Amino acid sequence: YHDHETAYRFWTNPSGVMGDAIVTGNSAGSGDSSWDPVWDLATEVTESGWTVEMRIPFSQLRFSQAEEQTWGLQLERKLRPVQENTVWAYTPRSEAQGQGRFGHLVGLRGIKPGRPFEVLPYLSARAEYAKVPRSPGVGFDNPFREPSSYNGFAGLDLKFRVTSNLTLDASVNPDFGQVEADPAVINLTAFETRFDERRPFFIEGAEIFDFGDGTTELFYSRRIGRAPQGSVPSQAVYDFTPGTTTILGAGKLTGKTAGGWSLGVVEAVTGREYASWQDASTMGGELEVEPLSNYLAGRAGRELREGQTTFGMMATAVHRDLTGSPLENRLHSAAYTGGVDFSHEFADRMWALDVQFSSSQVSGSTEALVRTQQTSARYYQRPDASYTEVDSAATSLTGYAAYARLQKQAGLWRFGAVASAVSPGHEINDLGFQSIADRIEAGGSLGYEQTRRGAYFLNWSLRLSPSVAWNYGGDRVGTTANVVLATQLPNFSRVNLQFNYNPEKLNGRMTRGGPIAQDPTAYSGTLNFNTDTRTRLTGRLALGVGGDQSGAWNRSATVTVAYKATERLDFSLGPSLGGGLKTTQYVTSVSDSDATSTFGRRYVFGDLRQTTLSMDARVNVTLSPEMSIEFYAQPFISSGDYGDMKELSAPRSYDMARYGRDTGTITSVAGGTRLEIDPDGAGPAQPFRVNNGDFNFRSLLSNLVFRWEWRPGSTFYAVWQQVRSGTLDASDPTVTYARAGDFRLGQDAGDLFRLRPDNIFQLKASFWLNP
């Protein structure tokens, strides 16, 4: 586009290994390598060096229709043996970086985009071999799953270039599978884990849908085709619930108009999904777990002053057919968001101002809106909140988010000031991603960057960043001050140090809908060391430490080693070990009219000592520029051991009364699977039981992928995916030995490889046609 914002990167080495990425935003970086254009090259090694000739079809690029054009251009050469980088258009490190500082290629005439149609049909076959365990205490096998299953698929992707810089994509029975599985995590919080998008249809052109620089993500494409949101009845002993929602069709229009507007529209329809289930008496049925849904996201933006000033707008909409559906009381029937953003660089790009504003509205049944008001993002049901309350008659909820930042981004001294607000009613999770609402935050930063080489450092920077946050009731729920020192040593390695200090503050989410509590003063620090990334052997060390005044602590260490054995072979290994003690892990809340100090409920917490060991291993073998083998594996072992059980004694405090010590009694019952708690001993309060939460979780995810681009744009994949996972849960009566919660590396690793794996084999062939 020559918008000084978007750049296409193509690179190679003497062996002809190809790489490409798309870089967005006015910043330097390697970009998004998941972009996969069709292009070709040839290299030749001579006595004096080597040469390359690249063939990049104009159909893979987006540009204006002007008869005479000017393109931005940057050329870069890296010589690893002498650690030399040479660029055609050089920008000093003390100045703002990015695509806006590239050179210009002028005088291009008669450039045409090529043939407008691209057709990509595909065929795939899948075989799955899985363990199908019998449910404990049930006298019959799972009727919904077989140890082996076989499926075949076919589909078609279409691409039509409406103009040289405006592209329409459409899919019939699209293949939205992803080759690499999401990493394993243990999430004991009230908040959703965010995973990156990996599906090519949504990755291509995704930069157009970026909205502002704040925390509001209006479009999170993984909502489309997500796992069904409904569930089977609690009495079900067997069920078959689809892992994803079927995308019936999807279309996308992205690009730029002749007037300089960037446009993006995504439309997708997902089908109804049903789950089958049976209880212990073989009674059961079929239940809708995801309704017929329509998703729409639109984005428009305009760049002025060679990309130094931009403004834009965005809107999303979700409609669900919930008529007669059991999900009517759970999901929104409609959800809308809209927003505007503005950025402006001035004083020769030394200063930048970013502003954004967005609003949201969700609607549905009164039951669905009660659920929304009680989610972890806002907790309207807090008994001590004077500014929010659950409206059981509401059929809609509205809110807003605002963000502004002013920063000095060039020169030796750097400065920044930021302010943001997310109202309690702001809800965008139907098609966006949001963890927190009900928050007002203000912060700043002051930094110094020295880019001249000195006796001890090639360059270094120091930054101080304080911030304060409140909820809409005026309670201070966040105070942070952090100091970051970043250096590059004469041997081109990097050392970064960071220290964070968090004075005591109130926490409206600790009790998960109960009264506001207090977090004690906390601290944390990190050390990151990276060797020179241009050498064949590279390494990274990351250390972390933290704690607070309650006695909680955490430690972590990650070591990553990568070795590029040849131009065609590289591998990496990254083990990570983390552990800590959390003194307020939420367990449950129990109604008790005698608990008058906490509004008629007891909020129960436990000490949780957790240890986690994981590792990422990768091997990439490039057999030729068109053929490669990739292997990825992630073993993951985690244990959690619950200690003292306690309850919150008073709101707006961290006062905890430990059962069996400060108050009441606690007894292990049901063979150690449950804990019986009498909160006041001989007093009038009724005893209650909670599960023993100790656990050991082990998993191993691995992928072996053979990729062959048998002709430009046409690819054959052969994939073997293996999954092993298992849990020791102390609340499970079938656990025959009491080591749940006890981390033993040798035994856990042995147990991991003794688990029976699920094996998935998949073949896929796509055919790129450009008629």
Residue 374 near residue 367, CB atoms below 8 Å: no
Residues 6+ apart with CB under 8 A from 766: 120, 121, 122, 714, 715, 716
* Rounded mean pLDDT, 5-19: 83
Q: What is the pLDDT of residues 556-565, one digit of tens each?
A: 999 999 999 9
Residue 191, strand partner residues: none
Q: What is the pLDDT of residues 322-345, one digit of tens each?
A: 999 999 999 999 999 999 999 999
> What is the per-residue pLDDT for 164?
66
Burial 627-664 (b: 16+ CB within 10 A, else e): ebbbebbbbbbbbbbbeebbbbbebeebebbbbeeebb
The residue among 196 and 251 whose pLDDT is bigger is 251
The residue among 408 and 159 whose pLDDT is bigger is 408
The residue among 426 and 13 whose pLDDT is bigger is 426
Phi, psi of 205 (to 5 degrees): 80, 5
- Number of domains into which the chain is organized: 1
What range does the domain containing 92 cover? 7-56+68-109
- Cα(733)–Cα(729) distance, integer angstroms: 9
How many other C-beta atoms are found inside a 10 Å radius of the C-beta of residue 498?
17
Tokens of 299: 């984005």
In a domain, 20, yes or no: yes
- Cα(162)–Cα(170) distance, integer angstroms: 13
Q: What angle do CA 368, 211, 27 make, to 5 degrees?
A: 150
Among 27-41, 104-118, 493-507, 609-623, the minimum mean pLDDT is found in 27-41
> What is the per-residue pLDDT for 28?
46
* Rounded mean pLDDT, 349-358: 93
In a domain, 421, yes or no: no
Residue 352 near residue 25, CB atoms below 8 Å: no
* Rounded mean pLDDT, 101-125: 84
Q: With 80 as the cut, is the pLDDT of residue 516 above it?
A: yes
In a domain, 84, yes or no: yes
Q: With 60 as the cut, is the pLDDT of residue 176 above it?
A: no
- Which pLDDT band, with edges at 50, 70 and 90, does 517 fall under? very high
Residues 6+ apart with CB under 8 A from 189: none
> What is the per-residue pLDDT for 40?
83
In a domain, 102, yes or no: yes
Q: What is the pLDDT of residues 472-495, one digit of tens each?
A: 999 999 999 999 999 999 988 999
Type of residue found at 326? P
3-state secondary structure (DSSP) of residue 484? strand
- Cα(548)–Cα(501) distance, integer angstroms: 10
> What is the per-residue pLDDT for 29?
56
- Which stretches within 381-520 are classed as H helix? none
Residue 579 near residue 555, CB atoms below 8 Å: yes
Burial 130-141 (b: 16+ CB within 10 A, else e): beeeeeeeeeee
pTM: 0.84
In a domain, 598, yes or no: no
Q: How far is CA 522 from CA 110, 415, 586, in A?
A: 63, 26, 18
Computed over every residue of the chain, the mean pLDDT equals 89
- Cα(294)–Cα(413) distance, integer angstroms: 49
In a domain, 221, yes or no: no
> What is the per-residue pLDDT for 548?
96
Q: With 50 as the cut, is the pLDDT of residue 93 above it?
A: yes
3-state secondary structure (DSSP) of residue 202? helix
- DSSP label of 372: H
* Rounded mean pLDDT, 12-35: 71
In a domain, 190, yes or no: no
- Cα(706)–Cα(19) distance, integer angstroms: 17
> What is the per-residue pLDDT for 181?
65
3-state secondary structure (DSSP) of residue 674? strand
- DSSP label of 32: B
Q: With 80 as the cut, is the pLDDT of residue 44 above it?
A: yes
Type of residue found at 334? A
* Rounded mean pLDDT, 355-369: 97
In a domain, 45, yes or no: yes
Which pairing describes strands 569-591 and 553-566: parallel, antiparallel, or unpaired? Answer: antiparallel
